[in-house]
Amino acid sequence: MQSRRSLLEPILLSLSFSLSHSHNFNATPKFTSSYHHLPRLYFSSSPSLSTPLSPALNPLLLFLFSRFPHFANFLQPLNLRSFSHLKAFCASGQLNKTLLTLQMLNFSRTRSQPRSTRSMSLGGMDYVDPKRKSNYVGKIFLAAALTALCIIMIKRSPSLNPPSPFSIHEPGVTHVLVTGGAGYIGSHATLRLLRDFYRVTIVDNLSRGNLGAVRVLQELFPEPGRLQFIYADLGDKESVSLLRNDLVNKIFSENKFDAVMHFAAVAYVGESTLDPLKYYHNITSNTLLVLESMAKYGVKKLIYSSTCATYGEPEKMPITEETEQSYHYALQFQKPINPYGKAKKMSEDIILDFSKTSKMAVMILRYFNVIGSDPEGRLGEAPRPELREHGRISGACFDAARGITTGLKVRGTDYKTPDGTCIRDYIDVTDLVDAHVKALEKAQPGKVGIYNVGTGKGRSVKEFVDACKKATGVNIKVDFLPRRPGDYAEVYSDPSKINLELNWTAQYTDLEKSLQTAWKWQKSHRNGYGISSAI
């Protein structure tokens, strides 16, 4: 990618620089434009991967739009967001039509206008034309710019370039699609996969994830064919039809996946009670889109990220997977009580029904409360500021310890537990991703495995807060508040099944040490990854 980009950018940058210095944009005082509103052109190392061109190219675009206001009208319906779209635009002959139409536009004066005050009227706006000659110069620049871009498209044709390693099945290499791979758990899973020599494609819309985490991974594994990132929203209800017909199909058609780890989902219990429709739509539509594309393109292995919230509040502890072996038992015991758990249960049912008529290998992992970070300090948890109030208790503890918040809010002290606070099973993220990799290795065609991923030990919220105080060395102020809707009194796992069938056992079971590891990352990354999560 870099070699192609290095060839193209100097040409366009030089053109952009010369335009910005040789043309007086103030000659069109009745027309204003902002770089922030210009269409964005993208480079990509594969047809799916999009990163923006240098902002220094904005003068070129600004010149085109200031001199040719209708230029935007041609580009917008064509959706020229990427090189692949631009290549199709060139090949379809639309370039010639666009140039011909621009040539036919009336940029010259009318006979009734005085020479010094003649102007153009296009699209309902007036544009002063101080020098008629400059219009012809502008046309030349426009034609040159579009022609140059189309030439680049032709040179980037697959017939003239070797195929991307992500687009072929390579013997001995397993290519895993990780949805939500820029998030807290997804990025740690990607790190483990790359460490184990898997090939990984991350798809994430960065609404909850961090681009900084992706860049850390790219720096750790810079070799070609190891990691690619695709910015895409699998659950945007405003564009779901477009995604179904174009984006998701494009991702799967241009990449040869062997397996999918599906993490992408909104995942806060408290938020789900405030905006339930968002959770039902996001979680189920994401799953449907992934399953449909897997079926269409022959991807036969799925590792699904589920949650203990699907169990609701069983009468007996610890929770085992046996609660769903009977339909009647499922009605009695597996009754989620918040929209997050209900939506995840719906997605599980969709997967199970689909698996009955396919040969897909499916592993569903129901994990409990996730804590910790990469032991080597490369990755950590960096939630978006606006989501702090819905986040994990570990994040709330660290925010209080760092003075970001005035104290820790503990919701509910009247549960039927020994100290009145909720009891949870806290699983270290390193153990969690180990379970995902073992599930990937053990998945069998035509079979479904459902596993709890937890330590088997329940800890109260008060115990957790005490451990956090010791880990941070800060006497955190604690405010006790009423219960939060949708919370369970007691939830912890029986991990016997995953211990036996996947040979997995939690290794990081010391709560205080897991919090110390996470705190160390927090202290050295006070601004998270230091990079905006939005493109």
What are the residue numbers of the active site?
340
Strands, DSSP E only, in 338-466?
361-367, 369-371, 408-411, 423-424, 426-428, 448-453, 459-460
Residues 6+ apart with CB under 8 A from 482: 411, 412
Q: How far apart are the C-alpha atoms of 462 and 460, rounded to whole Å? A: 5
**Which of 88, 87, 34, 42 lies closest to 65 in space, CA to CA?**
34
Instruction: Report which DSSP code applies to 165.
Output: G
Q: How far apart are the C-alpha atoms of 150 and 14, rounded to whole Å? A: 18
Q: Count other Cβ atoms within 10 Å, centred on residue 512.
A: 14
What does the block give as tokens for 272?
Answer: 């789900």
In this structure, are residues 88 and 148 in contact, taking their beta carbons and an 8 Å threshold?
no
Q: Count other Cβ atoms within 10 Å, centred on residue 169.
A: 10
Chain centroid offset of residue 302 CA:
18
Residue 505 vs residues 231, 359, 499: alpha-carbon distances, Å: 34, 28, 6
Residue 127 vs residues 65, 104, 130: alpha-carbon distances, Å: 12, 17, 9
| Crossing angle of the two packed helices 58-67 and 132-155, in degrees rounded to 10 | 130
Q: How far apart are the C-alpha atoms of 196 and 213, rounded to whole Å? A: 18
Distance, first Cα to last Cα, the chain? 19
The set of long-range contacts for 111-118, using a CB threshold of 8 Å and a minimum separation of 24, is none
